[in-house]
Amino acid sequence: MTGPYTRPKIRIAVLLLLALLVAAPAPVEARRRSRQPTRSKLAKPIRGQAPKGSLLGLGRAIDPNHPLRRQVKPEALLRATLGLLGGGDVATLPRHVRTALSKQVKKSQRSLRKRKTQMALIDTLKRQVGEQQFEKVAGSQAAGLKAALSKLDEGRGWGPTDSHDMQRGWGWQLLPKGDKAFSDPTFLARMLRESGQTGHGMVHNEPSRAIDVFRSAWSKIAPNNVRPEAFALTGSDANNLLYSVALVAAQRRLGKREIKSAEILYFDGVYAGGRGKIGGASFLPYGKDGAPNLEAYKIASPHTPQFGRITKAEVKRLEKIEAQALQQIEKKVTSQTGKPIGGLLIEPMLGAKGVYFYRPEFLLKLRTLCDKLKIPIMADEILTGGGRTGKFFAYQHYKGFEPDFVTFGKGLQVAGVATVRRDAPRDAKGKPVWDKRPPSYSMPRGMTTLSAYSEPLLKGAQVMTRIHDGKLMQNAARVGKRIVTKLKAYAKAHPSDYRDKEGPPRGMGLLIFSRVRPDRVMDAMGRLMPPLTLSQQQADQIFAEKNLR
């Protein structure tokens, strides 16, 4: 026979070719499985080393990172599936991802186009990655969408909201609009789930779950003995809820369950509210529109622009008003005529009227009196709460003083009433420890269909977590001090630029008051309330830009 393979040279060449093929079994095997690899893409062996998996050092290396051998992680598959659900084209997915996806649900690659298969994939992958990771991955898709949509909002809203905005819209925001906290994937995923966007529920899916998220964030940052009990949409609503609290307190104090309404005493100068009965206590006329006349419950307010070292003359002035205030309270509570009193409303640091403080000595006396009279002290921290003053609540600046209720709102995104367990045990540092005993004054129960709103609760939780993790209260204290020092220096150097009828520039944390000509510092009300993220460098830059030297 003289066929071509019988010739010795050709026979050797054929044998050599066969040896080469045997020497590189894995890529061939893989190629068969995926129908894809090309020679050029495969990893080259390191020079001088016999490639692993080759016979006698011949042939190619087995590259564990090659796409065909790479295990596609469930997170990546989840991302790909979410893309498909969002209208993505299966054909644009790399082949190894398509293969992995179809394997997951044991369906053809063609069926990956079907919504049913995509949902089956979601189910399978959700089980694999767990709920937490699922939220993170799904939320990261939402973060992209949010970034794109927020382009539409650029330039809208109430005034500028960049981090150089010292006005910070009357303090209702603690963080700048574009803060990273609001692009956090888990947060966005929860917002979508809880906001009712997923189509279940009436308005919100499970506000109770959002309340848990809010309470858990709160517990990281608020004093341990203060617990949010009731939620409302606005600060005014939260303050109006205090009338229900006052009723229970008055019934208990007088031992008369038949009492049907009670009144709240308040210090002259509180903002109180822009609507509802509590609006009648406001120092501003528009809050009083439609509200009952509450002048009879107003108490002289011994507030002062000085904090800490108070001048002798100021102490003298204050002592008179303090005595008068304490007398008025006792008289009004013990009087047999008029409506029963069920509480006293104070702003531990007045924020709407300007920035004013009380003497700690006075607040301690007030505390003793209210305990004697058995009326709860209600602290309105709607403007000051959340860390603006450098502590979570402004009342924490007064050593030894605690109210019985605190109302919160504005920057915390959701308003409400929190109870303070003043008798909670303390740790070695004197800090309260949470205990389950009922508070001395309880919140009345009452049903309203829509009493808690998922979105503001989740947003509030996000704000508190960011403040806690970013140590933003400490930042507020540090930067605030610097700003006040600079404003004081400026006011001294430029007396004609400063209207100082209400005292020199002052502040607590980033709640600052300064009558340096409004156009120089932006806020016509004289208050500066920048976001808690403001850094010292940014503050310095603002001063330089405004030529405030």
Q: Contact positions toward ligand PLP, by CB under 6 A?
A: 170, 234-236, 239, 271, 273-274, 347, 351-352, 380, 382-383, 409
CA distance 266 to 282: 9
Nearer to ligand PLP, 170 or 503 (CB): 170
**Helices and strands (H, E) in the chain, number of each type:** 15, 10
Nearer to ligand PLP, 239 or 301 (CB): 239
Helix (H, G, I), strand (E, B) or coil at 379: strand
Nearer to ligand PLP, 235 or 302 (CB): 235
272: left (phi over 0), alpha (psi -120 to 50) or beta: left
Question: CB nearest ligand PLP: which residue?
Answer: 235
Residues in the chain: 549
Nearer to ligand PLP, 281 or 542 (CB): 281
Min. distance of Cβ 380 from ligand PLP in angstroms?
5
**Cβ within 8 Å of residue 523, ≥6 positions away:** 166, 167, 529
360 membership: H or E segment, kind and range: helix 360-373
Side-chain-side CA neighbours of 161 within 13 Å: the count stands at: 18
Min. distance of Cβ 233 from ligand PLP in angstroms?
8
Nearer to ligand PLP, 239 or 475 (CB): 239
Q: Which two tokens stand for residue 289?
A: 């529109």
195-201: long-range contacts, CB 8 A cutoff, minimum separation 24? 195/454, 195/455, 196/454
Residue 339 in contact with residue 259, Cβ under 8 Å? Answer: no
Min. distance of Cβ 273 from ligand PLP in angstroms?
5
Nearer to ligand PLP, 121 or 278 (CB): 278
Min. distance of Cβ 525 from ligand PLP in angstroms?
11
Q: Which two tokens stand for residue 125?
A: 């992958």
Min. distance of Cβ 168 from ligand PLP in angstroms?
13
DSSP state of 124: H
Min. distance of Cβ 172 from ligand PLP in angstroms?
7
Nearer to ligand PLP, 192 or 238 (CB): 238
Pairing mode of beta strands 341-346, 511-513: unpaired
> How many of the other CB atoms lie within 10 Å of CB of 256?
11
Min. distance of Cβ 349 from ligand PLP in angstroms?
9
